Structure 1
């Protein structure tokens, strides 16, 4: 399976990739140029045959110590320096996972928009806005010749943005992604709008066409386009004003997703809104339905959110992954992303996730089809098992700390069993606390589940001792389901420096939050505790990760 090799590939990519200015791409002068990423296996950087290495402002390579900062995630992707936001151009090609992303190499805030690029090989920075990438293995575009490797025929479709127009353009690579050439016939779509962006392209074999979805952002419409050659496009239909509107639509996606327990696949339309999320700021929603090659029709107009935390926006799926649907998402929120504590860089991506559909009883009267998620296989960066044992009310480990390494990156699992709901009160919780590693354990994250009524909280208010923003909500609350007697609720989480990801009941719900401990602190211990004899952790585990840097 592709996903089994994914995480190891990304680790190599982001640990050894260099940032280059592509020799065929245009870019504005930078006041603070991009810097080379350090190689984890060598003290010297490899020679680069194409493009030119862009050095730091002091004309030296960036010091590797920036990867050891307490603010730097040790498992999640982050840029060496500068500001990163939406993932773009996600594609699997010839054994390599390509992650492009919107990037400002000049400062620690949004603006001066470029694309960053991480792969198993070198990275490239080119001047573009949002977009996607595909493998044109049949050379429908005519950009490639017979000597090229068909699995490396990568074409980017991106939004060129000015004060007067947003238009869609193409770029392509003939060297496996080291450099890109802009198509001389750009733009390929120009409708004269300033609010038309974020193209996502995929091949639709049934109609033998490329399909693109793009946001008519402030019309609250998702346009569906078709093309035989990636150059000439026709608009086929629009999805209009469905779901939660917010201020504008952004970053749409359309993918065929497997249904668990069957050979069936259903189509899923995703897009993000910002600002105007009911939770504040930005959020991502989805719709399950049917796509006939021209029109998408949702099963209903109900709003379903991909993630109900504060920091999950502009997610995209990788192209060319066969029967699997794998995506990655920006772990931040436009309400405060330009203001959070920073050390050489700002923002990180989520861990890549695999997506499926599952029929779930959401209440006694109704089964819903939900987009469920699981973390990709992280065995490539697994360090060691720190704890694996049940914990009950009378256990010596009830409330006892489990130490985690100073890297501060680990995963945990827990299965909370409720013997009977009789006698449970509103103060009877199953709680997992994550304490900082300073002497007084002065900061913490908390996860609490109340079986009495199925309520859950993820609290970060106690993990921002040295920083405050009124929009940085202290707690994310959610309803899971009302447990019955002899029921089990499952949790699987990944905790990293600054990023907390939680999947509930095998991915039926997801909560992703960032957090910012006092500089120098990382999470140093985990505590499982139950407040009632009828609430038991039938299993609880903690496993550490190696740093990817």
Structure 2
């Protein structure tokens, strides 16, 4: 669980590096009775100057429940030479697949990782393979398997995401190429042929440099006859009142190209820190069951300020909770809905609850139970009943009387919000430009069938992930509260509201 430091504590139930820096998670797989997750790791990270010391590599962790993870160290090292003595650079984002039918020739059930390597600013795709369930990898002698065709025209040529397309009996790769997602196919994971590209800017919307694409299928509303494709990517959402985040499109894949129903994206999470997202199916399920839902995890950080955060404890970075995602029709639109996987319930201790209270601008009115510590979950339902005249409910947590992070719901404008402009350590120390991005208020529209909203808050020392109305919307972000900040309050902006229920449970030791 969490390890206390001078300024806070290591998150208790999120994946973090033992030391130094981590960023993009790599899509997990289940093999040998356990889940295998890799993440980008920089052992040369310089806390005094985060822009110095570079190069990432793949770090390996495993789990039986996707909640408790065991560290195994670096498995694909940066700056290693090929058999010919050529250095291909650092190890960046890609994806690993289990080659069940030995299409690549490394053996049945070999783990094949295809990832970006960059040297001298040139991004290319290389292949590494494992014959021991993903614990060690060998570089392919023919690397790079996908050389950059023109580094001047394709300075961004990265983040291959590989899937097996059963309908066309071939491997498919989605690759981030600047403002475009390129699609490639292969029969053997070594030789790739370009088939098409998806450019969301055709709509006149500039999403910046796209990263970390993801292509998969899900059933809409648990209906197999409505099975559809989803294309996701890390994108810049400044035209949507956000910075970077995970955009996605609903559409069709025909074995060669993706066609979106609407070129304007939706967003998996409306908070500031949910990026480089990967998703995966549970291979233990029957084939049809795999399309009902799948899992997802993201990097909890933002390049607008990643190099300016007040990291503590000798490590920098964390992944989000593992989420179960589904496609549901919300207000007439097919939407990704996400909630934390059920296994997280096992880490929380005895809960305490209150119900049928009044919320006013006075924090003592709600009579919340006594709480302590920095890792907990809060489940609460708030209503604006006939006699209520309140405008919004605000939950202030990790406070010290002066600083706090606030989340809540605005009944007047029909939106949930996430506010950390009074966060504490980060607010006090960050340079002006990153601070403006860090402090920006994040909102997401959430319509209510009745005047009742349910909020689930997963707080883990220096992060919070908020799920609204069973995951119809989510807001996730890092927080850096002042030492000892533990106050939790619930108030209205004006007037009064009704607290139907409030349940708190801390992480059990």
Q: TM-score range by the shorter chain?
A: 0.7 to 0.9
CA offset digits 1:329-388 (Å, max 9, x no partner): 000100111111122111111001111111111xxxxx1111111111112312221325
Contact 1:386 1:544 in 2 (8 A): no
- CA RMSD of the aligned region, Å? 2.7
Distance 1:372 1:267 in 2: 15
Mean Cα deviation higher: 104-113 or 207-216:
104-113
Q: Which runs of 5+ in 2 are unaligned?
A: 64-69, 79-90
Distance 1:340 1:531 in 2: 30
Distance 1:393 1:240 in 2: 48
Residue 173 of structure 2 aligns with which residue?
A: 212
Offset at residue 260 of structure 1 (A): 2.2
Residue 334 of structure 1 aligns with which residue?
A: 303
Contact 1:155 1:171 in 2 (8 A): yes
Alignment of 1:351 with 2:333, yes or no, is no
Offset at residue 267 of structure 1 (A): 0.7
Contact 1:435 1:441 in 2 (8 A): no
Contact 1:129 1:158 in 2 (8 A): yes
Distance 1:143 1:69, change over 3 A: farther
Residue 501 of structure 1 aligns with which residue?
A: 465
Q: Which runs of 5+ in 1 are unaligned?
A: 1-14, 16-63, 362-366
Residue 412 of structure 1 aligns with which residue?
A: 378
Distance 1:391 1:356, change over 3 A: same
Contact 1:198 1:214 in 2 (8 A): yes
Residue number among 139, 164, 188 corresponding to 2:102 in the alignment: 139
Residue 43 of structure 1 aligns with which residue?
A: none
Offset at residue 455 of structure 1 (A): 3.5
Alignment of 1:430 with 2:393, yes or no, is yes
Contact 1:452 1:483 in 2 (8 A): no
Residue number among 338, 341, 347 corresponding to 1:376 in the alignment: 341
Distance 1:478 1:106 in 2: 36
Residue 73 of structure 2 aligns with which residue?
A: 123
Residue number among 414, 419, 443 corresponding to 2:403 in the alignment: 443
Secondary structure at 2:146 match in 1: coil
Contact 1:154 1:172 in 2 (8 A): yes
Contact 2:357 2:498 in 1 (8 A): yes
Residue 183 of structure 1 aligns with which residue?
A: 140
Residue 476 of structure 1 aligns with which residue?
A: 441
Alignment of 1:318 with 2:280, yes or no, is yes
Distance 1:373 1:483, change over 3 A: closer
Offset at residue 172 of structure 1 (A): 1.1
Residue 535 of structure 1 aligns with which residue?
A: 497
Aligned residues: 462
Distance 1:496 1:503 in 2: 15
Alignment of 1:546 with 2:498, yes or no, is no
Alignment of 1:490 with 2:454, yes or no, is yes
Residue 195 of structure 1 aligns with which residue?
A: 156
Secondary structure at 1:403 match in 2: coil
CA offset digits 1:494-527 (Å, max 9, x no partner): 1111111111122121111111112x335x2433
CA offset digits 1:113-137 (Å, max 9, x no partner): 2122211463334221110111112
Distance 2:135 2:295 in 1: 23
Distance 1:326 1:482, change over 3 A: closer
CA offset digits 1:84-131 (Å, max 9, x no partner): 111124222233222211111111436222122211463334221110
Residue 252 of structure 2 aligns with which residue?
A: 290
Mean Cα deviation higher: 502-511 or 316-325:
316-325
Offset at residue 534 of structure 1 (A): 6.6
Distance 1:155 1:319 in 2: 17
Residue 517 of structure 1 aligns with which residue?
A: 481
Residue number among 383, 396, 403 corresponding to 2:370 in the alignment: 403
Distance 1:397 1:280, change over 3 A: closer
Secondary structure at 1:379 match in 2: helix
Contact 1:85 1:330 in 2 (8 A): yes
Contact 2:10 2:461 in 1 (8 A): yes
Residue 24 of structure 1 aligns with which residue?
A: none
- Give the TM-score taking structure 2 as reference length: 0.83
Contact 2:60 2:135 in 1 (8 A): no
Distance 1:515 1:277 in 2: 25
